[in-house]
Amino acid sequence: MANGQKRSGVMDVVGLVASLSVVAGPLLAWLRLVPAIVGFYLFLLGGIVAIVASLSALISTARGRGFGFGRAMALLAALAFLFAAFRTGDASMINDYTTSLEDPPSFAYAGSLPANAGRDLAYPAAFADTQRTCCADLRTARVAASPAEALQRAERVAAAMPNWTVTKVDPGAGTVAAVAESVLFGFEDDIVIRVRPDGTASVVDVRSKSRQGRGDMGANAARIRGYVTALEAGAPAVS
What pLDDT is recorded for position 208? 97
User: Max Cα separation, the chain?
Assistant: 82
DSSP 208: E
Indicate the helix (H) or strand (E) that contains 222.
helix 219-234
CATH of the domain at 216: 3.30.530.50
Which residue positions in the chain have pLDDT lower than 70? 1-8, 64, 66, 87-92, 235-239
Would you say residue 44 lies in a domain?
A: yes
Domain range for 70:
2-86
For residues 43 and 103, membership in a common domain is answered with: no
Using the 3D structure, point to which of 33, 54, 86 is the last residue of a domain: 86
Residue of 22, 21, 11, 87 whose CA lies nearest to 54: 11
- Among 39, 67, 86, give the residue marking a domain's end: 86
pTM: 0.82
* Residue of 193, 32, 22, 211 whose CA lies nearest to 121: 211
- Per-residue pLDDT, 72: 87
Say if 91 falls within a structural domain: no
Among residues 84, 33, 22, the alpha carbon closest in space to that of 186 is found at 33
Whether 61 and 168 share a structural domain: no
